[in-house]
Amino acid sequence: MRLPNIPALLQIFLLVWTGQEVKSANILMSGLVGKGSHFLSLVPIGKRLVRQGHNVTCLIMDEYKERADDPELKKYFNFEIYKNTDPHYTTKEYFQFVSELAFNENGGLRSFGKMMYLTKELLRKSCLFVLEDKEMMKRLEKMDAIVSDVSWLCSSVIKLYLKKHANTDIRIILNVPNTPNAMILDLAGSPVNPAYQPSTMSGLTSNMTFIERTINTISTAVFRSFGNQMGSYFMSFAEQF
């Protein structure tokens, strides 16, 4: 089939008319404290943004400040490093426990409860350390957007803080590196049905037995409860700062 000839002048007009101007943006990228799969899953996204002309800054805790000296990461990213100001706390206990749990076949409810506690402390304290660093928060006023791991709810608090103190309007883009859990889907306005949708880390499929559906429903309720707990912590930060 012969294609119709399009006049050169019309081609130029269409090219100019459909062309879009893309401006580079200052983007803050945060994957928890700078360690683990939640951080590493953001690295390819950040590299792609840099290749497209954006300026990307990684937000990490000083316990993992060696990231800023990584030759590969230094080629792409700037770094903002906040300090752990609690001498009695370290995030390394969390990552050590998670690593051991991954290879432990006898985890059980006690191990799950400890993991939830350590996760809660990591999320709560890391956000507190960020908000207490007033000089760094001042520097973050120049950011246009935040690309964050969905589990690190502090990104929303940072947005509220900068809106309150600097009247900035920062956009948030959340990365979900795992199967969306009930808390995430609830926030997205798409409530999950635990009789069909497997809970995060359950290892189940949608083809569940009655017992599996019962277990899945309980697991979903636990994650929802955990999400509500974390939400209350971060709301208190929003009011405090």
pLDDT by residue (tens digit) across 178-190? 766 777 777 666 7
For residue 236, the SS3 value is helix
Report residue 100's pLDDT band, with 50, 70 and 90 as the boundaries. Answer: confident
Q: Does one domain contain both 144 and 47? A: yes
Q: Does one domain contain both 151 and 193? A: no
Per-residue pLDDT reduced to its tens digit, 58-79? 999 999 999 999 999 999 999 9
Backbone angles phi, psi at 49, to 5 degrees: -65, -40
Q: Is residue 185 part of a domain?
A: yes
Domain boundary among 155, 177, 199: 177
Per-residue pLDDT reduced to its tens digit, 124-134? 899 999 999 99
Per-residue pLDDT reduced to its tens digit, 35-49? 988 899 999 999 999
Q: Is residue 195 part of a domain?
A: yes
Q: Which domain holds residue 35?
A: 23-177
pLDDT of the residue at 171: 92
pLDDT of the residue at 108: 66
Q: Does one domain contain both 101 and 203? A: no
Q: Does one domain contain both 102 and 44? A: yes
Assess contact for 222 and 232: CB atoms under 8 A: no
DSSP single-letter state for residue 167? -
Domain boundary among 140, 161, 177: 177
Q: Does one domain contain both 134 and 187? A: no
Q: What percent of the chain has pLDDT over 90?
A: 40
User: pLDDT at residue 161 above 80?
Assistant: yes
pTM: 0.78
User: pLDDT at residue 194 above 70?
Assistant: yes
Q: Does one domain contain both 37 and 75? A: yes
How many distinct structural domains can be found in the chain? 2
Q: Does one domain contain both 137 and 159? A: yes
